[in-house]
Amino acid sequence: MPKIPFDESIKGKDIVSRKITIAIPLTDNPPIDFVASYMNLEKPNHYLITTNAVPIDTARNDLVKMFLVQHPDSSHILFWDSIPYNETIFVEIDGVLKKCKIGEYVESFFDSKEPIGKERLDVSHLNHKTFSMRKDGKFVLSPIKYVMRHKVRRKIYRLTLRGGGEIELSEGHYIPTWLPQQKIRKAMVWEDGKVVNKSPEDIDRVITPYSLERDSKDIPYLKIDLEKINENWFLEGEYIKELIQQNYEKFREVQKDRRRRKDCKNLKRNLYLNSAWLKRGKVPLWAIRKLGLKIEGECFLVCNHGSRIPIPLKLDDDLLKFFGLWIADGSFNNGGVVISCPEALPLMQKVCSNFKAKVTLKKNGVDILINSLSLREVMKQLGFNGYSENKRVPSWVFNLPKRQINCFLEGYFLGDGSFSEELGVQSWATVSKELHEDILDLLLLVGKRASSTSFKSGGFAHRRICYRGALYIKRRKRKLLNFPVFLQRVVKKEVVRETEETLYDLGTEEGNFYCSGILVHNSDTIPPSDGLKKLWRWNKPIVSGLYFRKVPPFYPVMSIWNVSMGGLSPVIAWEDGKLIPVDGVGMGFCLIRRDVFQALKPPWFSFNNKWGVCALPGQEVFGSSKIEDIKIGDSVLTGDGSFQTVYNTFSRYYEGEIVEIVPSTIKLPIKVTAEHKILTLQGVERRYPTTSKRFGERRKTIPLPKVLDFLNASEKWIRAGDVKEGMYVAFPIIKERNITELNLADYGLKIFNGRAKLKAKWGKGIPSIIPITKELCELFGFYLAEGCPAGDKQIEFCFGPTERDYAERIKYLLKNIFDVNSWIIEGDHALFVKAKSVPLVFLFKKWFGTHAFNKRIPIWLLQVNEDCLKSLIKGLWLGDGFKTYIGPKKHECLGLNTSSKELALGIVAALIRLKIRPELREYTQPKNAFGHGKKIYHIKVTADAEKLGSIIGINIAKTRKQRTDKSFFFNNKFWFRIKKVSKKYYSGKVYDLTIQPNNSYILENIIVHNSEDFYFCLRVKEELGEKVWVDTSCVCKHASNVLIDKDYFSAFRMKELMRG
């Protein structure tokens, strides 16, 4: 571990206090007394890792606010991980909504000449606002409290969304996402979830809004900034005539001044102030500017004798449609404005009649020319610029109300849109990335959620926007229940650069803001495990404050690690010189005073996780998927037979020795680091009973099969490095749940009049409530063995030519359970049962997989009652099972082959629930066999073949008795021996999970322990003095402990401080 030095460059409280962010973790029972109030320590320059930290101005507890005000020395500097310059945000300034780059907005508050450090500026008094998400999920304008910028070296991640959006973030900038309360295989249950923050490296889905809420009124007129118009152009109208009369002498003086100029012969004609113009009420802009006059009335902008543009510009619906049409298919030329959309000719004529501009359809039959230089100049001044690849929506359009924005979008759709009557889909296409983002934001402002895709054509990257209506989006499960946000899947994560650059951030009351199409978090907080790693890598000092409280209230604070119990035991007294853990609530890690730290001799601390992060990638975790693919919120099988939610995931780089354990019965090896804990059965004694038999006059001793004595047996967690051949490991017996019926609405179907359908009301559908019966489970078993989807509308079962009874049985079950008609097709060498039902195909794909190699038994099906589980096994074995003979005595056994590892493990779990001892092995198909090179999983039942045969209706006449010491059931687990243990060298990533409260999971086929808490141990010596500042929270999101000496514990006067 790298040494963490303190920074001596900054001394004194005054300098440091200007650059701190006040934060403290909030708990359900905030402490009353604080250790910090009893300490008078010099404040060092430091960084802080926080756990659930919030800024003081967003803290909702008055007690916490009071503490921070009274004890400013407990304030902390937080991590500054932010967003690059070019990401876009919305900012409302003085009631005007503006879309701009975050760097452009933040830089406007700082002096560009000053060197960039770590700067934070309070802007709450300005009442600037930006979009952020409230607790109810709505995106509203929220006040900006502060802006930040800092120049650092960070990895910059680019996240590409499924909908086509992109955003760049620094590696430590956290992104809110939605964490479902539970996950069943691939089907997510989104109800009762919560918003959590993840880093760009770990994020898989981001939150995007359903709409952007903002109140605004119709804008009747657009003000034209005449300062940006060519000075050689004219203003005319009744208001200009009155202005000339009021300032006639001034205009005459300007006219004389121009004529006295020596180079007057070289001046253009309109640079003179012609008397005839003054009489007609027409004056050039340069004369207005010369006199410093302000135009406050209605007039017209004219270029020589061209069209007249009213000032201010009346913003009617037709003009908005025209502006939207120009964004889609418009351009400028030397003569005026060009629209390449012949269908819009009537609209152009209507709009230009107000400007007295000539509209001409060119000979190519596509381009419409508006001969108006005045209109071209005004449109450029309003923000209509660029070519097709870099067009943007002008900023003032975002301030329009929903009705006017809809008119603008209608014009844009007229030029670049299309509509599919069959699908009911509106779509737009553009090659401009900025315009693509602007149109998506405009749709959000009017409450329309659209998706987007990208494709290449003609050497350009085209971006297509599709709007299918709210009903379609709800049917596609994009909208969370009772939470008006959407989740966009991150399809690509890449590090685009790692250079020193300036990053920017905002602070809002909600702690988040809308940036480049997604919701991002403020830079106030960072999970402590990630934060500590960053500080080590950046070689930064680590310092923090702390406060204590009882955990739980009125419970002894002092505790000691009890080796025999494997846990903490509360104590009141302890032996002198012993190190004890102190329960407390803190900021994420230890710290001591600088003078104490400098006096310590290395190693002054140790950082370890007691059993390590330890499973190699590519291994299956029962109930989910490969260990490296598991996410927080997934459901996995634990050691007591229940399914629990993954609380946290870990990964790290490991180089060293690993242990490979191969069981004798379920022969799927596991590979873990030597520190990993494995559940074993200790104290099992093998007995060798004998009997005697008389052979003539002699009596001979005959050995009997081995038996086991469980009198002294006990379960024990041991290190994988200490596991030896012959030890027993376990697979749990899955607990039964009271599941009586399936509500198909929970699995993604829509209910119409008691019938479940996939997309629309039409179609027959299937019953919305399906009772779980033996017949249903038998059908599921047949499908897992012989069924598959045939496209998106049909399922089919395939049987041998002599298995017509099975085909008729399937036909009956489909009709009786799902009310689905089916038919039998006779092939040359097979019988096919086919049924057409879109919702049934959808369900079977979700529950059982799509191909033979990824079939699986869903979790809920393994938890049904035993009678239903027997019917499932019956269907499976009748479809794919077989009877064979083993050994020289031709003992009968039952077997089953499958190419799906998940299905094989599911069948093994089902058999174990029925107290049937299975065997499982993996082999590769030989070259001369069908599907050579593929992995096949062979399940065999030998000792309990007669019991299995009675379930599936097959008579087993002669079975071989299996040794009782090879595998057995004990304490609600299936125990089997370890056949082989080997150690190898490995270099690469390793993974682990945290499952609460059971703290175990099934790796391949063996119960293993999850990672325990991280401990940060501080070495304290008596001669170093009395004041030692210690923090006791864990660096990995768990309650942890810091070991301190008894004397220093007493020095904190904990008896006084623990009254809370």
CA 777 – CA 756 distance, rounded (Å): 20
The fold for domain 741-970 equals Endonuclease I-creI (3.10.28)
State residue 366's pLDDT score. Answer: 85
State residue 1012's pLDDT score. Answer: 53
Average confidence (pLDDT) over 325-330: 89
Give the residue carrying structure tokens 């010189």. Answer: 577
CATH 3.10.28.10 residue ranges for the chain: 395-479, 741-970
| 47 and 541 Cβ atoms separated by less than 8 Å | yes
Relative orientation angle of helices 402-416 and 317-329, to the nearest 10 degrees: 40
State residue 603's pLDDT score. Answer: 35
Q: Residue 896 — φ and ψ, nearest 5°? A: -155, 135
State residue 135's pLDDT score. Answer: 81
Confidence of residue 707 (pLDDT cuts 50, 70, 90): low
Q: Residue 188 — φ and ψ, nearest 5°? A: -90, 140
| 673 and 656 Cβ atoms separated by less than 8 Å | yes
Confidence of residue 702 (pLDDT cuts 50, 70, 90): low
Q: Both tokens of residue 129?
A: 């606002």
What spatial distance separates the first Cα and last Cα of the chain, rounded to whole Å? 37
If you write DSSP's letter for every residue of 316-346 in order, what string do you get?
A: -HHHHHHHHHHHHHEEEETTEEEE--GGGHH
Average confidence (pLDDT) over 610-628: 77
pLDDT for residue 1049 is more than 70: no
Q: Give the range among 289-303, 920-934, 1019-1033 with minimum mean pLDDT.
A: 1019-1033
- Using a 10 angstrom Cβ sphere, with 0-12 exposed, 13-18 middle and 19 or more buried, the burial of residue 715 is middle
State residue 729's pLDDT score. Answer: 93
- Using a 10 angstrom Cβ sphere, with 0-12 exposed, 13-18 middle and 19 or more buried, the burial of residue 307 is buried
| 1060 and 31 Cβ atoms separated by less than 8 Å | yes
CA 608 – CA 1034 distance, rounded (Å): 11
CA 988 – CA 368 distance, rounded (Å): 64
Confidence of residue 861 (pLDDT cuts 50, 70, 90): very high
Q: Taking every pair of C-alpha atoms in the chain, what is the biggest distance, in angstroms?
A: 153
Average confidence (pLDDT) over 805-820: 92
State residue 754's pLDDT score. Answer: 85
Over the stretch 9-41, which tens digit does the pLDDT of each residue have? 222 222 222 222 222 332 322 222 333 332 333
Confidence of residue 808 (pLDDT cuts 50, 70, 90): very high
Over the stretch 307-327, which tens digit does the pLDDT of each residue have? 788 888 888 988 999 999 999
State residue 255's pLDDT score. Answer: 67
State residue 465's pLDDT score. Answer: 81
pLDDT for residue 560 is more than 80: no
pLDDT for residue 930 is more than 70: no
CATH number of 395-479: 3.10.28.10
Over the stretch 564-585, which tens digit does the pLDDT of each residue have? 544 444 444 434 433 333 333 2
Could you write out the three-class secondary structure of 974-991?
Answer: EEEEEEEEEEEEEEEEEE
CATH number of 88-212+482-523: 2.170.16.10
CB atoms within 10 A of CB 144: 25
| 198 and 177 Cβ atoms separated by less than 8 Å | yes
CATH number of 627-733+972-1012: 2.170.16.10
- Using a 10 angstrom Cβ sphere, with 0-12 exposed, 13-18 middle and 19 or more buried, the burial of residue 692 is exposed
Give the residue carrying structure tokens 């379960």. Answer: 715
Q: ω before 603 within 30° of 0 (cis)? A: yes
| 722 and 675 Cβ atoms separated by less than 8 Å | no
State residue 656's pLDDT score. Answer: 82
In this predicted model, which residue has the larger pLDDT, 978 or 1012? 978
Confidence of residue 521 (pLDDT cuts 50, 70, 90): confident
CB-side neighbour CA atoms (13 Å) of 772: 20
State residue 576's pLDDT score. Answer: 40
Q: Both tokens of residue 352?
A: 């230009």
- The H-assigned helical ranges of 165-268 are 238-246, 248-259
State residue 1055's pLDDT score. Answer: 29
pLDDT for residue 713 is more than 90: no
pLDDT for residue 1004 is more than 60: yes
pLDDT for residue 1054 is more than 60: no
pLDDT for residue 51 is more than 50: no
pLDDT for residue 478 is more than 60: no
Helix (H, G, I), strand (E, B) or coil at 732: strand
pLDDT for residue 873 is more than 50: yes
Q: Give the range among 21-35, 435-449, 897-911 with minimum mean pLDDT.
A: 21-35
State residue 5's pLDDT score. Answer: 28
Average confidence (pLDDT) over 1030-1036: 29
Helix (H, G, I), strand (E, B) or coil at 427: strand
pLDDT for residue 518 is more than 60: yes
pLDDT for residue 624 is more than 50: yes
Range list of β-strands (E), 64-106: 88-93, 96-101
**Distances 900 to 115, 637, 926 between C-alpha atoms, Å:** 61, 19, 17
Average confidence (pLDDT) over 372-383: 86
CA 78 – CA 637 distance, rounded (Å): 38
State residue 880's pLDDT score. Answer: 87
Average confidence (pLDDT) over 297-306: 77
Over the stretch 132-165, which tens digit does the pLDDT of each residue have? 988 888 899 999 988 888 887 778 889 988 767 8
pLDDT for residue 911 is more than 90: yes
Letter string b/e over residues 329-343, b meaning 16 or more CB atoms within 10 A of that residue's CB: bbebeeebbbbbbee
- H helix or E strand, kind and range, residue 417: strand 417-420
Q: Which amino acid is at 810?
A: I
Q: Both tokens of residue 462?
A: 């085209």
CATH 2.170.16.10 residue ranges for the chain: 88-212+482-523, 627-733+972-1012
Mean pLDDT across the chain, nearest whole number?
72
State residue 906's pLDDT score. Answer: 92
CA 511 – CA 516 distance, rounded (Å): 17
Confidence of residue 246 (pLDDT cuts 50, 70, 90): confident
State residue 239's pLDDT score. Answer: 86
Over the stretch 946-986, which tens digit does the pLDDT of each residue have? 889 889 888 887 666 666 668 888 888 999 999 999 998 88
Average confidence (pLDDT) over 294-307: 79
